[in-house]
Amino acid sequence: MATLQAVKLDQAQKQSAITLQGSAALVGDYLYCAINSILYMRGVYPTEMFESVPKYGMSIFDAKDEELKSYLEKVMKWTKDWMMEESVTAIVLVIINPITKDIVERWQFKIMCDQQHAEEKTEKSVSGAKPAPTMEEIRRQIGSVLKQIVASVSILPATPLDAMNTFNILVYTKDNLDVPADWQESNPHFIRNAQQLHFRKIHTSVHEVDTCVTYRSE
């Protein structure tokens, strides 16, 4: 009986374990929601260009504008593909003034992927150590980080109303990665004399996303 129960438990744990593909999809969804929220909260685009969507136990603002949506989807699609190849190390959302080219804020999503580590973890979890996080737990983590991002608006310096800011998404990839022709190399857009604000980490069993915002100290 005991062996049967153990086998059933192992099977259940293996079924609940997240694959690389599932983890990449979750992280991609988180990045999409986070970028949309940031663009809305930081006033990069007018509020009319967003619509409220219930997700992760809160209302998230999703882009309505087709052009913006297609751009974000394009970036996210490639990012997910590269995450599957474990070639992405970070995604950076840079808010820039296009006239003065001043970098206002730099939202960094550091992505750490360790497939072997994840496999070891799953083995450990199967063997009785700390179990891998379930989908609900990961969703809860993502929701909490998104709430932190929304709450960080009160801490970050206020953007002036007449500021015509725009944004760009940088993808930190491995050097030997073949990128499509419409992608090009970019500078990392550092902020001098910057201050950091760290958010919670998101742990799937495969990926770990470390979110951080860097802004110019007044």
CB atoms within 10 A of CB 162: 5
By CB under 8 A, tell whether 174 contacts another protein: yes
Question: Could you give the angle at the alpha carbon of 213 between the alpha carbons of 54 and 45, nearest 5°?
Answer: 55
Q: Say if CB 132 and CB 17 are below 8 A apart.
A: yes
By CB under 8 A, tell whether 66 contacts another protein: no
| Rounded Cα distance, 104 and 168, in Å | 12
By CB under 8 A, tell whether 58 contacts another protein: no
CA distances from 112 to 29, 48, 156, 207, 208 (A): 16, 35, 26, 6, 5
Which residue in 179, 175, 23 sits closest to 89, CA to CA?
Answer: 175
Q: Which of 14, 177, 201, 217 binds another protein (CB under 8 A)?
A: 177
- For another protein, the closer CB: 59 or 186: 186
Q: Which of 106, 121, 139, 207 binds another protein (CB under 8 A)?
A: 106
Stretch that binds another protein, among 2-10, 69-77, 133-141, 147-155 (CB under 8 A): 69-77
- For another protein, the closer CB: 160 or 188: 188
| Site residues, another protein (CB under 8 A) | 68, 71, 74-75, 89-90, 92, 94, 96, 98-99, 106, 108, 110, 164, 166-175, 177, 179, 182-192, 194, 196, 198, 212, 214
